[in-house]
Structure 1
């Protein structure tokens, strides 16, 4: 009999592993449908879809190991990080998916709300919120939309040696800003940014990546707390915001 391993669970969805099968359970069927559509059209390796039923998506386990995890050192090689950048380049060059992502105006409204919540609840010192908000606002400009993964945490990228074996969790895939994917992949791991960009092989404004580091972190803290995660863990979102504020002060 196979053991059941809880991979991740929160108020919106849960993922469990049974042997070599992952089961994603999501009460939003439209989100599952959009994820499947994105996986089928993405020009990068994804997990094999075994079956889909209402509220459940079954995926085959990917070979290899995650590129890393937020808050922990990555043991992946520079070449593996570069391969992740190259995979992103393929994705961003692909035909646009039908699903629209958030607009700069929508993100600005979210930023207002999240900064107000952080201040009201004394989650962060006011100066750290203010400095990161100033940094984040740089990302809120018009962009040419591309096919974005939408939540490309390094734990969602699997590698075997220097090769990408697959990318997981396409539930947020949509038309969006290419820089957001690059920033999400390197959040908390700025030491690997150069490797990723070498594989991406396209000129990128580093200040926009830093802006998205602040914007993603400011938007994410309340969600993480509400869903049982700890953004105060070493190397995670609050550490990122503190580092960003100090850098901006210099």
Structure 2
């Protein structure tokens, strides 16, 4: 009998793997609703939904392996990174989904959230004030109106699967919706700046690199305390704190 592998688990959700089946348990059924709807609309490879019985969603494993992991060197080829960029462009060019996603957060709310988080990071001694201040300055470039695109909303490299140089599946669509295309590009390349050129080559469009760097800072600033509170280590080599330090 296959063993049960805990892929990720915290107080909000958990993902288990049993053989070739992933079981996603989420207390917020709206996230599962979003994920199911987004996978049905996305013009890129997505996992097959096997069944759903709230609060559990069962999906089939996609073939291949993850493009990489945050904090670890990626062994994927430049062509595989370019293929990820091409798939992302196809998604961003698709008809808009009905709802806003994580990448489409209200600009005023996002700015207020960022400023509040920066204040807490300094007040609680989580990060040095100079590091926070510098990255808040960098993040400002992302705080502008953007044209809406169909975005994944949480396109970490661990959510993109490849077989050789081909994309075999993109997983975890619970944050999908209308939003800023550059947020997806930034999330995909967070901690892997050396592959940004490959991704953009596959994406096939001019993009504002300053905005992508701004999203790196913004996403990292917003993520540090949440990661610590949920048992993750953002200060591990190559992870969010290193991303923030690289902007100094």
Q: TM-score range by the shorter chain?
A: over 0.9
Measure the CA separation in 1 of the matches of 2:143 and 2:176.
19
Measure the CA separation in 1 of the matches of 2:146 and 2:187.
17
Aligned match of 2:229: 226
Aligned match of 2:195: 192
Aligned match of 1:216: 219
Aligned match of 1:54: 54
Aligned match of 2:111: 108
2:131 pairs with one of 128, 131, 140: 128
Structure 2 residues without counterparts, runs of 5 or longer: none
Measure the CA separation in 2 of the matches of 1:19 and 1:49.
15
1:165 is aligned to 2:185: no
Aligned-pair CA distance for 1:113: 1.1
Question: RMSD of aligned C-alpha atoms?
Answer: 0.6
Deviations 1:8-35 (A, max 9, x none): 1111100000010000000111211111
Deviations 1:152-203 (A, max 9, x none): 0000000000000000000000111000000000000000000000000000
Number of equivalences = 245
Aligned match of 1:10: 10
Measure the CA separation in 2 of the matches of 1:30 and 1:133.
31
Q: Which runs of 4+ in 1 moved over 4 A?
A: none
Three-state SS of the structure 2 residue aligned to 1:94 is coil
TM (norm. structure 2) is 0.98
TM (norm. structure 1) is 0.97
Measure the CA separation in 1 of the matches of 2:225 and 2:162.
31
1:94 is aligned to 2:94: yes
Three-state SS of the structure 2 residue aligned to 1:235 is coil
Aligned-pair CA distance for 1:103: 1.6
Moved more, 117-126 or 82-91: 117-126
Aligned match of 1:26: 26
Measure the CA separation in 1 of the matches of 2:143 and 2:30.
28
1:78 is aligned to 2:67: no
Three-state SS of the structure 1 residue aligned to 2:216 is helix
Aligned-pair CA distance for 1:140: 0.3
Aligned match of 1:66: 66
